Amino acid sequence: MTKSLPVPEGDSLHRAARRLQVLVGDRVAAESPNARGRATGVAEQIDGRRLEAVEAVGKNLILRFEGGVTVRSHLRMSGSWRVRAAGDPVPGRPWLVLRGERAQALLYGGRVLELNARAVRGLGPDILAPEPDLERLLRNFRRGDQARQVGDALTDQRLVAGIGNVWKAESLWHARVSPWRRVGDVTDGEIRALLETAARLMGRSVETGREEVNIAHRAGMPCPRCGTLIRSRGQGDDNRAAYWCPTCQPGPEPPVHPAPS
Ligand SMILES: [Zn+2]
């Protein structure tokens, strides 16, 4: 059985971007208590600069400072941004500490922290943009490999940025589309429905701070809609678990994968 680790998805990055807004407009004092964070050179470049904007782009958090300095943070498996009142003690050794007038932001477990937004280029449209461009997203899906499984395509950040394993499973279940169908066999209407559903579910998660999960990580439990047991199988190059209800989401049997290493 495939074991899945939680990975920050677009909605958690958007929540972090919201929390960090309290620092926007402040001239920040920056330091890196963590040696690996210090090695990125980010803190010394931004120390004393005014923070102009913070935004989530896909699974990246982009911080723009005066003077055209841009910092990209990608949280990977275990990173997190926390916001504390100015002057509160700083626990542990964060990768980056940004001290503003009223608050300080702490980045733990950065993994990817760098001084430009290069990696953001090449990303598809953000699923959590205020008005996601569904037609452009649909064209991206149609331009790509039509033989690819739709569940795999949904988490390809070049097609659509921000969807990870949990919201992939939930969107497919809500839209009643099997993750194992080929993109070419999924209608335009179904792809639109999948993307609209992902945007709606993730948007609600940003608003409420809660993830309403029906199917992800629930293999062997009854489908909340029909009672059929939920199935799970590794999918895509990284063999991360796909979840589906074989009754609500009919489709081809998944190919037999080698066991995850
Ligand atoms: Zn079902």
pLDDT tens digit string along 167-206?
Answer: 999 999 999 999 999 999 999 999 999 999 999 998 888 7
Q: Which residues surround ligand 1, an ion (CB under 5 A)?
A: 223, 225-226, 228, 245, 247-248
Q: How far apart are CA 234 and CA 259, in angstroms?
A: 9
Residue 97: Cβ-neighbour burial (10 angstroms; 0-12, 13-18, 19+): buried
pLDDT at residue 261, rounded to an integer: 40
191 CA from centroid of ligand 1 (Å): 19
Is residue 49 over pLDDT 70?
yes
Cα-based distances in Å from 105 to 57, 98, 102, 151: 19, 5, 10, 35
* Residues 6 or more apart whose Cβ sits within 8 Å of residue 34: 93, 94, 95, 110
pLDDT at residue 260, rounded to an integer: 46
Q: Which of 13, 20, 18 is nearest to 167 (CA)?
A: 13
230 CA from centroid of ligand 1 (Å): 8
155 CA from centroid of ligand 1 (Å): 22
147 CA from centroid of ligand 1 (Å): 25
How many CA atoms lie less than 13 Å away from 186 in the CB half-sphere? 32
Is residue 209 over pLDDT 90?
no
pLDDT at residue 3, rounded to an integer: 36
Beta-bridge mates of residue 240: 235
45 CA from centroid of ligand 1 (Å): 52
Is residue 35 over pLDDT 60?
yes
Between strands 103-108 and 96-99, the pairing is antiparallel
pLDDT at residue 40, rounded to an integer: 79
With tokens 């678990």, the residue in question is 241
224 CA from centroid of ligand 1 (Å): 7
127 CA from centroid of ligand 1 (Å): 26
Q: What percent of the chain has pLDDT over 70?
A: 92
3-state secondary structure the chain: CCCCCCCCCHHHHHHHHHHHHHHCCCECEEECCCHHHHHCCHHHHHCCCEEEEEEEECCEEEEEEHHHEEEEEECCCCCEEEEEECCCCCCCCCCEEEECCCEEEEEECCCEEECCCHHHCCCCCECCCCCCCHHHHHHHHHHCCCCCEHHHHHCCCCCCECCCHHHHHHHHHHCCCCCCCEHHHCCHHHHHHHHHHHHHHHHHHHHHCCCCCCCCCCCCCECCCCCCECEEEEECCCCEEEEECCCCCCCCCCCCCCCCC
251 CA from centroid of ligand 1 (Å): 13
- What average pLDDT is seen over the chain? 87
78 CA from centroid of ligand 1 (Å): 32
221 CA from centroid of ligand 1 (Å): 11
Is residue 109 over pLDDT 90?
no
9 CA from centroid of ligand 1 (Å): 25
What b/e string do you get for 144-163 counting C-beta neighbours within 10 Å, with b at 16 or more? eeeebbbbbbbbbbebbbbb
170 CA from centroid of ligand 1 (Å): 12
With tokens 């300095």, the residue in question is 69
pLDDT tens, position by position, 212-223: 899 999 999 999
204 CA from centroid of ligand 1 (Å): 23
Cα-based distances in Å from 131 to 16, 136, 185: 20, 12, 27
- Is the whole model's pTM more than 0.85, yes or no? no
